[in-house]
Amino acid sequence: MDVVIIGGGLAGLCAALDLRQRGHAVLLLERQCYPFHRVCGEYISNEVLPYLRRLHTDPASLGPARIRHLQVSSPAGRVLRAPLELGGFGVSRYSLDNFLYQRALEAGVEVRQNTTVTAVAFEAAANQHHLTLADGQHLTARVVLGAYGKRSTLDRQLSRPFFTQRSPYLGVKYHLRYPSLPTDVIALHNFADGYAGISAIEDGKVCFCYLTTRRNLKAHGTIPQLEQRVLARNPHLRHILEHAQVLYPQPEVINEISFAPKTCVEDHVLMCGDAAGLITPLCGNGMAMAMHGASLAAAHAHAFLWNELTRPALEAAYTASWQRQFSRRLQTGRAVQRLFGQPLLSEVAVNGLRLWPGAVRQLIGRTHGQAF
């Protein structure tokens, strides 16, 4: 096999489509079965649209919400407003991932669902990878892309340092009906030890997703109690909690969200999306980064498969491209995160930035890229 891609999220699916379009045999392995929900903010910067159109996957057919404005509130409810110059769109991962999956099948990508990879090993003499699946099967590939998300047992097998460091963060996501939210706004609302994002997606729904800490949840016992006792202190969040219609009974929850630096190549595996590095949700651009990372990985892998790059040159070129595109965004994200989540500091940050629109535009620019 030319390429095996571990993980069928945005990075994995886009890389699969890209490489297949370039004429390569691609096998994508996904441990779940489409369609399914993911804990994700579901806002995507318009920087990805030219790439999606080149892949013949224009998301317009999904009826996404068009997002043009940003609002940020402090825990006390003070609001900062700013335009999003490039703009973005809102669409659920449930719909978008399934859409890309169907396009991948049509393009000739081989996809195996309900498939878990338990180990990846590189054989230097043969210059190829050996993969072991949970059912005992073995595969070989010239190139392996790791697009399996924020955290996986493969990270342990690859001895990635962040995996052994406990992360305090957890994410919670709902889909709602909430007519009070303008469909062209993404709003970020701060509360003690966390922040929540809300924005429109397709079919008149909104995505409501928040990040907080295990300590915050433990102090209040359950998610409903946490929401009533902590999130609801922000008047904007209180209005959402009191007036929105929840569209599925239990929220999607994910633990051990780590924003620690990662490397984008591990034991000769090219990492993409959240497996390569995770931007803080407050910056709202992880989905675009996943797609952009897929385009970089696919381009460099293509050059290697056509013998235009050696293995060391492939890994060096991909690392340089990834760092050039994303390292500043991740650094800015970590810096911005420190400004929010603490009530006093959040109040100071929102009040200060309200008086300094140029700084707001600069922060948005530093967490978003150019169309590609």
Q: Is the pLDDT of residue 258 over 70?
A: yes
The separation between the first and the last C-alpha atoms of the chain, rounded to the nearest angstrom, is 28
| Strands of 33-94, DSSP E | 43-45, 65-73, 79-90
* Residues sharing a CB contact under 8 Å with residue 335, sequence separation 6 or more, in sequence order: none
Strand order from edge to edge, sheet including 143-146: 110-112, 26-29, 3-6, 143-146, 269-271, 265-266
Full residue range of the structural domain in which residue 61 is found: 3-367
Q: Which of 45-54, 81-90, 103-112 has the lowest mean pLDDT?
A: 81-90
pTM: 0.92
Percent of the chain predicted with pLDDT > 70: 96
Is residue 38 in some structural domain? yes
**Average pLDDT rounded to a whole number, residues 49-70:** 97
Tell me, what's the pLDDT at 355?
60
| Cα–Cα distance for residue pair 347/339, rounded to 1 Å | 9
Is residue 372 in some structural domain? no
Using an 8 Å Cβ cutoff, are 200 and 210 in contact? Answer: no
Q: How many domains does the chain have?
A: 1
More confident residue, 283 or 269: 269
Q: Which of 32, 40, 184 is nearest to 114 (CA)?
A: 32
Is residue 14 in some structural domain? yes
Tell me, what's the pLDDT at 284?
66
Is residue 238 in some structural domain? yes
| Cα–Cα distance for residue pair 69/184, rounded to 1 Å | 6
Tell me, what's the pLDDT at 113?
98
* Residues sharing a CB contact under 8 Å with residue 25, sequence separation 6 or more, in sequence order: 1, 2, 3, 110
How many other CB atoms are found less than 10 A from the CB of residue 120? 22
C-alpha torsion angle, residues 96, 98, 101, 107 (rounded to 10): -80
Is residue 237 in some structural domain? yes
Using an 8 Å Cβ cutoff, are 347 and 77 in contact? Answer: no
Tell me, what's the pLDDT at 164?
83
Tell me, what's the pLDDT at 200?
98
pLDDT band at residue 116, thresholds of 50, 70 and 90? very high
**Average pLDDT rounded to a whole number, residues 79-90:** 91
More confident residue, 232 or 352: 232
* Residues sharing a CB contact under 8 Å with residue 249, sequence separation 6 or more, in sequence order: none
Percent of the chain predicted with pLDDT > 90: 72
| Cα–Cα distance for residue pair 109/117, rounded to 1 Å | 18
β-pairing, 3-6 with 26-29? parallel
Q: Is the pLDDT of residue 92 over 70?
A: yes
Tell me, what's the pLDDT at 223?
96
Is residue 195 in some structural domain? yes
Q: Is the pLDDT of residue 281 over 80?
A: no
- We report the CATH number of the domain holding residue 47 as 3.50.50.60
Tell me, what's the pLDDT at 328?
83
Q: Which of 250, 262, 275, 244 is nearest to 12 (CA)?
A: 275
Tell me, what's the pLDDT at 283?
65
Q: Is the pLDDT of residue 10 over 80?
A: yes
